[in-house]
Structure formats: C-alpha cells, structure tokens
Chain A
Amino acid sequence: MTNFLDTLSLLVLLTAFILIANKRIKSYIRTFRLQSLFIAIGAGIIGLESFAQEGRFDALILSVIMIILKVIYIPNLLDNTYAHVDHTVEKDFFLNIPILIFISFLLFLFSYFSFSSIEGLHEGKVNLQMINLVSVVLIGLFFMITRKKAIGQIVGFLVLENGLFATAMFVTQGMPFIVDLGIFIDLLTGVLIMGLMVFKINEKFDSIDINKMKNLRG
C-alpha cells in the first residue's frame, strides 16, 4: 500500500512539473484538476485503510469534500472567470520554460538533501512521499512568482495549498478533521475573493497582466 502511495505522490509531483512547463491558462486549470484528483484518490485510499483498521471515516469525508471542491467547483469557477476576461497565451515569462523546469528540479533536489540531513525523521531510509510533496509546495510557490497573469498566480496558490494538504494527509495519515475543514473553507473564500479581484482588475486595466498594475489609477 505504501508503494501505491509513493507512486501517487510522484504523480502529484509530475503534475506540478507539467504545470510549470505550461503556458496556456486553460491547461493550468486542467492540470490543477488532475492534481487534485490524484490527491483525492490518495486521501480515499488512506481513508479506506483507516476505516478498515480503526473505524474512523473522517479521511473518507475529506476525500469527498476534496473531489467536490477542488476537482469540480474551484476549476469550474476559474474557467468561468477566465471565460469573461481576455484570451491570450502567456508569452513573456521572466525566464524561459526549460530554465523554469530546471530550477524546479533544483528545488526538488534541495528538499531531498534538506530532508535527508534531518535526524530522527526516518529510520535509515528517506521518506519519498514527504520529499515529493514538500517539493510540490516549493514548486507551487515558484510557479506563483514566475507568472505575470493573475489567474496563473491563483493556480500557483492553489497548488501550494494542494501540496500542504497532501503532505499532511500522506505523511501523518490525516490531521484532525476540524483543522482540514477550516483550511478548505478558508481556501474557498480566498479563491472566491481572488476571482472577483480578477474581474475588477480586468475592468480597471483592460488586462490581467500584473505588470500593468504598477501605474495605479484611482
């Protein structure tokens, strides 16, 4: 079973890499949906296991909430937001895509070396899932600071949060139920507000490029 979770965590990392290699907003949202689906499957497996062993079913509920919220609701919301603002391919990055991929890989290596230097975390073997998922958090942050469009930054924030949730889920077999639920509700309101902000930015500046926000108008 741990082998299967290893593979799932690696798939989540893979979607993070695919995300950073993308330049179309539509496929950002699609990749985010795929990543959330993988995490929901992982949470479902952990939930089934804990239900069979201890009779707890909070991880199962979390998996269902994850599917409703992050696989269906938030991507649809972002799609709607995107349909109402101007359509352009994101052309100019701060760096080109192969360098972005390479830096993300360096982030993965960084988390590998930093985790293998912590004593007491592992018994002779480094925890693969922890490394993969913490590097998802780092790559989400990196994605957020390399994109100029506001929707890209929202997706970066969501991936960062996905990484945090998956780390807590996979490594510790689930935080207390109330904590996870609180994070989800927080996230939902955050994304709702950000979606409204994108509308407002588009209305004010005729574009969602954040570089144009330097000359603020009243």
Chain B
Amino acid sequence: MGNFIYFTIQIMMIVLLAPLVNGIIKKIKALTQKRTGAPILQMYFDLYKLLKKSVVISQTSSWIYHVTPYLVFATALAAALLVPVSTMVTPTSFPGDGIMLIYIFVLTRFFIMLAGLDTGSTFGGMGSSREGMISSLIEPSMLISLFTIGLISKSTSIYQMMSTAKLLEIPLVQPVYLMIFIALLVIIIAETSRIPVDDPATHLELTMVHEAMMLEYSGRHLALMELGAVIKQLVLITLLANVFLPHDQLIHLTGMGALILSLLFYIIKVILLAVLIALIEVNTVKLRLFSVPNLAALSFILSFLGFINYFLLGR
C-alpha cells in the first residue's frame, strides 16, 4: 500500500514537473539572447488550451495515426515508472528494466515514425527517415553505456545501478562514470531533439526532424504528443541525475522526512542538469544532418572508452 501511494506521487511529480523543466530550458535560452522570453509556466497554458480544442484528422489516415498520441503518452508514463525518483524506496525492480527502458523509448519512436508516414504529407516522411537515421546511430552507444553501469552494479535494474553509485563517494570523479556521463549527455541531447542534432524551435524544412512528424497533429492529440516528449526528457534527466549525482549519502534521516528531503534534492539536481543542457544548447550551433554521425561516433567511442576502462580498473 505504501509503495502504491509512493508510485502515484512519483508519476504525478514527473508529469507535473516535466513541462516546467522545458520552461526553464527555454527561459535560459531566451535570457542569453537578451530576450525576456515566455513565462516559465507557458507550456502548462499551451497544454490547457490544446486540451480544450477539437481534433482535425486527415481522411487518408489509418488507425495507427489515431492510436499514436495515446500510445506515446502511455509509454512515457511506463518509462516514468521504471526510473526511481528517490533511491529511498524500492520500486518494481524486475531484472532487465534498463533494457526495458530503452525499448520502451524505441516503441514510442517506432509508432511516431509510422504515424509520420501514415498521413501521406511530404514533411512527415522526411522527418521519419531522418529520425530513423539518428535513432539507429544513437542506440548502440546508449546500450553500451547502460550495460557498463549494469556491469559495475552486476544488475540491469536501474534501482540497483543507483544504489551501487550511492556507495561511491563522488561517482563523477571515477573514470568510468565520467566517460559514461558525457556519452549519456550527448545521447540525451539527440534523443530529446535539442540543438546540435535538431532544432526544436523552428519549422524550417532543412532543419526540422522531430517537428516534421508532429506537424499533422492538432488539439488534444498534439497536447498528448508534446507532454509525452517532455516526460521522456525528464525521465532521461532523472536517470542521469540519480545514477551520476546520487544524494542519499547526504541524508541522515529515516522515514517520511528523508523521503521529502530526498525529493527536494532531486528537484535541485534536475534543475541543475536542465541549466547544463540549456547552456550546451546555447553554446553550440545546429549541425548539418550529415555531421550527426560524427557526434554519434564520438558518443559511441566515449561509452566504449568507459567500458574498456571498467575492464582495466575492475570497478
């Protein structure tokens, strides 16, 4: 029963916090360009407005197009359940949920790509093909990164990875963890369609990847797709925050107080990582599509260096 309440809180927290994280990133981008920018809570207003509106659907579309928004939202919630927000509470840790997390994301992406092709618009197909290329380039490095941390903690369960990292003093100073951290940062930027790989703010034919597949959606379908995308982003940031910057060794309390304190620490870490991602986005330019393999190769080699260093050091 206690676990059930905790899970409800966790899901609510991730769904409610996710648009806020996006708002923070957008606000920092606006401030560095000397604009005032939209308010931090702008995405909540947008979602509220979209949820009230009716849906326009192309007549040539099939069932895939109708199912995709709900499926995107549902898989995002499932991914949010797999990554524990606070390491104080044991979640449903069955073996293999690191791999499960990756393939839940792949399922989402598969359906988004199919739906992009489904309506027969020109942009959808183009976006799908680009998304397919980027995801196939990114996936090996994501698998190797998670497997390396899994080897250190001797389990693919994400909860186990987090509690192993908790035992180290500062995991980020360990060579293995440092390499995997940088590799995962590149992966998160590519997965959540941030600037070096994809520009989330434009609707220009040359640059858009993720937006091209979203053009056809309207009303509550669009709201669900956007919410699903930001939840996915927050889940990946949570993974990064809790594996590489564990905070539970700072807390010397037990029971309910520790849980609340741990959630507060968690929010601080997420905001720090959001600032880091925003700074990366501000300081880089959009890569040409054919330069993305260079970035992916670098990320793959970084995760592989971490892997080899694990064998050298044995920890």
The residues of A with any CB-CB pair to B shorter than 8 Å are: 3-4, 6-7, 10-11, 13-14, 17-18, 21, 97-98, 101-102, 104-105, 108-109, 112, 125-126, 128, 131
Contact = CB atoms under 8 A, between A and B. Distances in A.
B72 to A, nearest CB: 31
Interface string B174-191: 110011001000000000
Contacts of B175: 6-7, 10, 128
B294 A21 contact: yes
A6 B313 contact: yes
B284 to A, nearest CB: 11
B173 interface: yes
Contacts of B304: 105
A98 B313 CA distance: 27
Contact of A7 (B173, B297, B301, B312): B173
Interface in B215-258: none
Interface of A is mostly: helix
Nearest to A8: B175
5 contacts: A7-B173, A10-B305, A17-B302, A21-B295, A125-B314
A98 to B, nearest CB: 4
Given A4-B173, A14-B179, A128 B312 contact: yes
Interface in B152-196: 173-175, 178-179, 182
Nearest to B314: A125
B151 to A, nearest CB: 17
Given A6-B175, A131-B312, 11 more contacts: A7-B173, A10-B175, A10-B178, A10-B179, A11-B178, A98-B297, A104-B301, A108-B305, A112-B312, A126-B312, A128-B309
B276 interface: no
Interface in B291-315: 293-298, 301-302, 304-305, 308-309, 312-314
Contacts of A105: 301, 304-305
